[in-house]
Structure 1
């Protein structure tokens, strides 16, 4: 997709990145915050994208909403 096809808030650089994580319910808020902080750190050190230009959203669903390995 061409850069013109992406929408992002004004004032954001081309490196602006949105990450959406689908997660099974049950992890504590401490664990989720640790994941977000680790993502900020690793993306900054590995890709050079400032945490200011990264947005992370975690969406949780109960276990009965998941299906994998042929099972529910």
Structure 2
């Protein structure tokens, strides 16, 4: 299980929302091993005054938060970052303008479809 939250300036995030969702999903499927049908992306387009740009970044600064079950290796997570840094460039976001944070939680800390996450039968592995 993984959920994505994407924050960015509205004038830059809205026009690329669908394409960015596709980039995130391809990386999640191909690198993190999520099933094709698992796409949980939420977008938070913000006004400039609500989403300041840190020094050295442009107005295309974008933050992606991924909340997922723990278990993936450091190598897998690094491969995911590298994939995103490469692929977002096709959308006009340079690697310096992308921040990605992965927040991992034990499966028992999720409640999904009426069950604790550690009682769910998964069709995919999270220990890659």
Query: TM-score normalized by structure 2?
Result: 0.51
Q: 1:12 is paired with a residue of what secondary structure?
A: coil
| Kept after mapping to 1: 8 A contact 2:67/2:104 | yes
How many residues get paired? 71
Stretches (4+) displaced over 3 A? none
Unaligned 5+ segments in structure 2 are 1-45, 117-128
Q: Within the alignment, does 1:39 sit opposite 2:68 as a pair?
A: no
Query: TM-score normalized by structure 1?
Result: 0.85
1:15 matched to which residue of 2?
60
Unaligned 5+ segments in structure 1 are none
> CA offset at residue 19 of structure 1?
1.0
More strand per residue: 1 or 2?
Answer: 2
